[in-house]
Amino acid sequence: MSYDADLESIAEARQAAQEAFEAWQAFLGTTPDRIDAIVDAMARAVEPEAERLASLAVEETGYGNLVDKKIKNLFNTVSVSKWLRKINALGMLWRDDRTGVAAFGEPMGVVAALIPVTSPTSTIIFKVLSAVKAGNAIVCAPSLRGRRAGIETVAVLAKAAVQAGAPQGLIRCLEHITLQGTAELMSHRHTAVVMATGGPGMVKAAYSSGKPTLAVGAGNVPCYVHRSMRERLDETAAMIVHSKSFDYGTACVAEQAVIADFEIARDLRHALRLEGGYFCTAAEADRLSRVIFQPSGRIDPEYVGQSASTLAKAADFSPPLGTRCLVCEENEIGRKRPLSAEKLNPVLAFYEARDADHGLDLMRRIVEFGGLGHSAVVHTQDSEIAARFAARLPVGRVLVNTPALFGGMGFSTDLDPSFMLGTGTWSGSITSDNVTALHLINIKRVAYQSRPWRDIHEEYGT
């Protein structure tokens, strides 16, 4: 980017933050019912646009596929918006008549929302609906590679919001994208909170902005299959392959490695093959690793979100027609084996575990290698195994007998539906929750005197 482009981006960020703040000032005091109507109007407006926006995202970024990106858009317009209608975010949240304490939700102000290139439309839908539900203004900063898709998605949402009664400028999107402009938005005096979804560099910049920040870390999600699943391996394999291949593996919450008890490993391999999993030879896996990862160990952005056939072609081998996922047998974990790290494409590492203790150890080591605080999956019919793994793994969510992607985002589980999954202090994040509108409010507590204040002297003998 040229010096002039940086200045243009910084000037736009300043103007967007200022105008969003002024719109938020006008929005203050809007009743929760009126806000719900605005959120509903945005969801209704973007739902019929889900396919068009998904197509634009795939065309512009080159990541993922149309069918799955459409589903991601619809999850936010349907499932997230439905959940938002059920919750109270503003006004009185609760009151305890016994103690005389009541809690009230109040908006934070202007939200600076950093948008990942892997989900440039669905993440915007999620963050805009959540921010407005909480009574806030929002300015989105898309990635340069997802700029047009981001601008168009925000345009649909903003138009619907204004037509439903929201102030002009409450929902904005930066059009001139540079790192300097995004940094200016995050640190602007009118920015109240940053919502950052993206790579490690983006998250680090967000936490360095000097503003309260909700940011999520990387996910290196291990999936353990216990021997008690012997009779259910077909369904387990279907879950794993569908979750990992969904949108060509762009979701950080998808499975990254499968760990199978040795008693059922052979049968699980067979089940994975029937679902479209291709087990690479050692030579193929090594070539694939060199395609996916740069010499520095970073993921090559050109091979993020690509189909299994595209990746195989780049690595000079030909899996069978219908292959959905490439599986690589591994024995080690760490920098010397890059395939044991997070892979934002339909590639899985596969390990055999001697027993549950060994499986737990492998799970922990994989999580510690780039996925602290995120998620893990356990497939088991033994509730004690699930409880034991949950207690000992340093992750924010342990998903049992469900696909990692759909369970983590709150579709196939009753976790709060979200496209922003906190990773807790394990990875330097402020929360391990599924982030929602309830993370975008300040909670004011009103408390009446419940005992005579002068009793403090009697209580402590002074």
Provide the residue type at 405 as one letter: L
Tokens of 414: 């009753």
Name the one residue in this structure whose structure tokens are 């010096």. 3
Break the chain down into helix, strand, coil percent, rounded to 5: 50, 20, 35
Distances (CA, A) of 77 to 64, 235, 316: 19, 28, 40
Q: In angstroms, how far is CA 359 from the centroid of its own chain? A: 26
Q: In angstroms, how far is CA 63 from the centroid of its own chain? A: 16
β-bridge mates for residue 430, sequence order: none
DSSP classification of residue 50: H
Cα R_g (the chain), whole angstroms: 23
Rounded CA-CA distance 266/11 in Å is: 60
Rounded CA-CA distance 93/17 in Å is: 29
Long-range contacts of 273-276 (CB under 8 A, 24+ apart): 274/234, 274/237, 275/237, 275/238, 275/240, 275/241, 275/242, 275/324, 275/325, 276/241, 276/245, 276/308, 276/322, 276/323, 276/324, 276/325
Name the one residue in this structure whose structure tokens are 């204040």. 453
Rounded CA-CA distance 419/55 in Å is: 19
> Is 325 one of the catalytic residues?
no
CA-based end-to-end distance of the chain: 68
Tokens of 456: 């403090």
Name the one residue in this structure whose structure tokens are 């300097």. 180
Provide the residue type at 222 as one letter: P
Catalytic residue among 140, 173, 252, 280: 252
Alpha helices in 200-307 (DSSP H): 200-207, 233-245, 262-274, 282-292
CB count in 10 Å sphere of residue 446: 11
Counting beta carbons within 10 angstroms of the beta carbon of residue 164, is it exposed (0 to 12), middle (13 to 18) or buried (19 or more)? middle
DSSP classification of residue 337: B
DSSP classification of residue 3: H
Q: Which residues are catalytic?
A: 252
